């Protein structure tokens, strides 16, 4: 196994003791339930979690959904870890008091790897997190050349390296951190896309050819990035398989709240910590979301 790390500069890889991966991936043992019209809250720092919301809503269209975005502090990667834990914990307490969700999805890699242990310790509500899909990517790759494309914070985080050490046997893994792609995705959703040249330049480090083999599988290690997948396909130097974590998250949700029940679809609402976001009304409508009265 080989790990290459890239960001705006090369990121050092410092070995550390293996982390306990399973508790973060799956959380404590929670018995699956079969719930009618469960209340499911999907949380992210911005609009990237909409890609996860879309898949979960397909799996349980009969659920009552709230999409909550802490866009006032977007992006999370710049926050010190202690402040991020305090911030997200306080927000969750408010959401739980207000909505009484049956399950909460943390649709953010940064928040999942840093805050989930505290959330599970503090609240009785089941949480489903988001981590880079390195295991399925390495299993799928034919060339054994996998790139992990995430934010700079995800690229630097020891948890990402622990996943690679655990699951990337036989693969060369190229970890790329980008400070640009999440803001690019936010612009894409608002109808103000960057140019093809800018997008191509941002993703170029994820495509590596070492003269023997080249990247054939790309892990989208930020929930914002699937908003750009179709454009990535067009500007990429060669075709690759893009691994979006959202379908796996949706399957995990179904395992905890049960499959869809025959019933009408309920309204779903979005709220933002920055307040009302009329600039996103059209985009939210494409996800069948309405602005929350609490926004």
Q: Tell whether residue 288 is among the known ligand binding residues.
A: no
Q: Tell whether residue 258 is among the known ligand binding residues.
A: no
**Cα angle, residue 151 at apex, residues 145 and 156 outer, rounded to 5°:** 75
Note the residue count of the chain: 295
Question: What are φ and ψ of residue 100, in 5° steps?
Answer: 50, 55
DSSP assignments along 3-46, one per residue: EEEESSSPPP----PPP-HHHHHH-S-------SS-EEEEEESS
* Residue whose pair of structure tokens reads 């089941």 in the numeric block: 126
Q: Is 138 a catalytic residue?
A: no
Q: Please, which residues have CB within 8 angstroms of residue 8's CB and are 6 or more apart in sequence?
A: 152, 177, 179
Strands in 217-220's sheet, in edge-to-edge order, are: 2-6, 172-177, 145-150, 217-220, 241-243
Given the residues 206, 222, 227, 249, select the one marked as catalytic: 222
* Residue whose pair of structure tokens reads 């790390």 in the numeric block: 5
Q: Tell whether residue 77 is among the known ligand binding residues.
A: yes
Distance CA 293, CA 295 (A): 6
Distance CA 12, CA 22 (A): 25
Distance CA 136, CA 113 (A): 18
Q: Is 222 a catalytic residue?
A: yes
Distance CA 44, CA 58 (A): 19
Give the bridge partners for 64, in sequence order.
Answer: 39
Given the residues 108, 111, 194, 270, select the one marked as catalytic: 108
Q: Tell whether residue 76 is among the known ligand binding residues.
A: yes
Q: Tell whether residue 109 is among the known ligand binding residues.
A: yes
Q: Tell whether residue 37 is among the known ligand binding residues.
A: no
Strands 172-177, 145-150: pairing is parallel
Give the bridge partners for 218, in sequence order.
Answer: 147, 242
Q: Which residues are annotated as a binding site for substrate?
A: 44-45, 76-77, 109-110, 223-224
Catalytic residues: 108, 222
């Amino acid at each position: 196994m080989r790990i290459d790390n890239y960001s705006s500069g090369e990121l050092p890889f410092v070995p550390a003791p293996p982390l306990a991966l399973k508790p973060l991936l799956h959380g404590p043992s929670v018995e699956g339930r079969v719930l009618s019209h469960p209340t499911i809250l999907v949380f992210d720092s911005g609009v990237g979690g909409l890609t996860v919301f879309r898949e979960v809503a397909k799996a349980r269209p009969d659920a009552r959904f709230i999409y909550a975005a802490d866009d006032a502090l977007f992006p999370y990667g710049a926050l010190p870890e202690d402040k991020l834990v305090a911030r997200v914990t306080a927000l969750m307490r408010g959401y739980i008091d207000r909505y009484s969700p049956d399950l909460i999805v943390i649709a953010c890699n940064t928040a999942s790897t840093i805050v989930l242990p505290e959330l599970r310790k503090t609240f009785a509500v089941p949480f489903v997190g988001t981590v880079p899909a390195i295991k399925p990517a390495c299993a799928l790759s034919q060339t054994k050349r996998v790139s992990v494309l995430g934010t700079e914070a995800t690229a630097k985080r020891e948890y990402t390296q622990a996943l690679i050490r655990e699951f990337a046997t036989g693969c060369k893994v190229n970890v790329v951190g980008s400070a640009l792609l999440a803001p690019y995705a936010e612009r894409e959703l608002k109808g103000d896309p960057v140019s093809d040249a800018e997008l191509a330049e941002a993703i170029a480090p994820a495509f590596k050819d070492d003269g023997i083999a080249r990247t054939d599988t790309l892990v989208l290690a930020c929930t914002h990035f699937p908003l750009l997948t179709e454009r990535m396909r067009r500007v990429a130097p060669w075709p690759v398989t893009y691994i979006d974590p959202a379908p796996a998250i949706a399957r995990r949700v179904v395992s905890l709240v049960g499959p869809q029940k025959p019933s009408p679809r309920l309204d779903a609402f979005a709220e933002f910590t920055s307040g009302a976001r009329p600039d996103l009304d059209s985009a939210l409508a494409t996800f069948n979301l309405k602005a929350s009265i609490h926004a």
